[in-house]
Amino acid sequence: MFTKTIYTLFFLIAISFNAQSKTGINFQTKNLEEAKKLAQQENKLIFIDLYTTWCGPCKLMKKNTFPNPELGELFNKNFISLYIDAEKEGTELAKKFKIVNYPSFLFLDQNGELVQYEYGYYNAAQFLNVGQSVLEKRNPNKKNKTLEEVKGKMVGETIPDFTAKDQFEKTFSLSQEKKKTVLVFIRGQWCPYCNKYIESLQNLTPELQSKNTRLVIISPEKPEFIEKTISKTKTAYSILYDENYRIAELFDVLHTPEKKTLDFYEKHLGDDFRKSRSDESGRLPVSATYILDENQKIIWRHFNPDYKERASLEDILKQL
């Protein structure tokens, strides 16, 4: 009877351990070459958490974020995940990718080439968005929407949390904004209509402050091109770099212009257009404006496919 009880106890412990091991991200004890072979066999990408033993956010990611079941489901299905100490077995990786921030997250293809790079602390919901953006970026079958097909998120819909860096290297997190937020999408520093509109928005600053509202500009352009926007407009508002178009996709404002339009931009703008964004797909956001309440719900929007038409300052103020 005693022996039977012991066997039953070990069986239950094994079941419990097995169940726990299937929650969260399953990090495998493989080197990069082994991971590349397995990724090719299973048709997956590679995710590397490059950490250090002294890094506080690294420990928090391991404790709070990676064990999330929903995150585990996405990553275990689509990635070979590795947990690598940057100061031991990961020194060559850190040198190769010029890593200076920890934790650093490398998303690689099956050949070990970089697909996407992120760093810093993310909660589970935020990191889920990161993983989804990597998969969407690498999905060749994903249909890019035309200008006629994008409709924009509607009033009443709630926007999931997102994070992005601004020109001051500060991280903006939608969920941390305990106030109304005005989000303005622009096409880039090469667009005169965008620059003129940004200049006009400066007139809203006193009213926004009095109404405890924050205005944020969202650009698809890289930081060095955002600097050109600031130089041209002298704006003091935060401008977020929408890397890989994640925010534009959340709001359903991302589209691919028709070929003749892209040809025109590339001919007349050159690298100012071609090299300014995360990729050279030519995708752009509709120049939409959204107002969100404290709970991330859309309470007003201006959505017009014509980039020359922008939300009036009067209409914005009426909603606040």
183 with 118, same domain? no
Which residues of the chain are modeled with pLDDT < 70? 1-22, 139-143
Asked if 51 and 86 count as a contact pair (C-beta separation under 8 A), the reply is yes
Residue 3 lies in a domain: no
The count of structural domains within the chain is 2
Which residue in 25, 35, 39, 55 is the catalytic one?
55
How confident is the model at residue 17, as a pLDDT? 38
Count CB neighbours of 178 within 10 A.
Answer: 9
| Residue 295, CA distances (Å) to 50, 157, 166, 320 in order | 33, 11, 22, 15
Domain that holds residue 249: 163-318
> Based on the domain organization, do 128 and 186 belong to the same domain?
no
CB-based contacts of 33, cutoff 8 Å, min separation 6:
none
| Residue 6 lies inside a defined structural domain of this protein | no
pLDDT of residue 41: 83
Contact 107, 116 (CB under 8 A): yes
Output the 3-class SS for 196-238. Answer: HHHHHHHHHHHHHHHCCEEEEEEECECHHHHHHHHHHHCCCCE
Query: Both 168 and 313 in a single domain?
Result: yes
Catalytic option among 32, 45, 50, 58: 58
CATH of the domain at 83: 3.40.30.10
Q: Same domain, yes or no, for 109 and 217?
A: no
Same domain? 131 vs 208? no
One domain for residues 209 and 116: no
Q: Based on the domain organization, do 48 and 81 belong to the same domain? A: yes
The H or E element that residue 240 is part of is strand 238-241
Active site residue 194: no
- Token pair, residue 118, equals 């992120």
Q: What is the pLDDT of residue 141?
A: 53
- pTM, rounded to two decimals: 0.60
